[in-house]
């Protein structure tokens, strides 16, 4: 992590989702649907440590899909396109496609539980 960038655990108190007493004041029904690990670099041990920390804190809320650090994802906005249109075959775009499927599966499961 860059020393100038806030990390996940520094941001959570600010948005009020880490502590239930704050969440109730904002929106009592507010719930984290899922957590996505992004900019993940398998060559970097820090990525594994951060992932383990996040999974330890959020458990099943963390999606299995991990979005890798990928140059094509970074380039897409400068070309005025989302990565799926800029380079659909790059690993980053494919990870987002996989994540979309995982989100839909989780939402479908949640709706089935509510319906029954």
Give the whole-angstrom CA distance, residue 92 versus residue 112.
30
| Pair 88, 76 in one domain | yes
Q: In the chain, how many domains are there?
A: 2
| Pair 19, 76 in one domain | no
65's tokens: 């899909």
Q: Strand locations in 12-113, DSSP E? A: 35-40, 62-68
Give the list of residues 6+ apart from residue 114 with CB closer than 8 angstroms, or none. none
Q: What is the pLDDT of residue 3?
A: 46
- For 72, phi then psi, to 5°, come to -65, -35
User: pLDDT tens digits for the chain (116 residues)?
Assistant: 444 444 555 555 544 555 555 555 667 777 788 999 999 998 988 889 989 988 998 899 999 999 999 999 999 999 999 999 999 999 999 999 999 999 999 999 988 988 98
For residue 17, the enclosing domain spans: 1-31
| Segment 7-29, tens digit of pLDDT | 555 555 544 555 555 555 667 77
Give the whole-angstrom CA distance, residue 72 versus residue 81.
11
């Amino acid at each position: 992590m860059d020393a100038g960038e806030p990390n996940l655990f520094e941001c959570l108190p600010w948005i009020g989702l880490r502590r239930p007493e704050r969440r109730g004041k904002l929106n009592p029904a507010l719930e984290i649907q899922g957590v996505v690990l992004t900019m993940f670099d398998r060559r970097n041990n820090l990525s594994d440590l951060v992932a383990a920390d996040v999974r330890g804190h959020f458990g099943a809320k963390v999606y299995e899909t991990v979005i890798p650090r990928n140059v094509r994802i970074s380039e897409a906005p400068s070309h005025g396109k989302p990565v799926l249109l800029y380079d659909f075959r790059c690993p980053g775009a494919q990870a987002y496609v996989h994540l979309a499927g995982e989100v839909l599966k989780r939402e479908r499961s949640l709706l089935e539980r509510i319906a029954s």
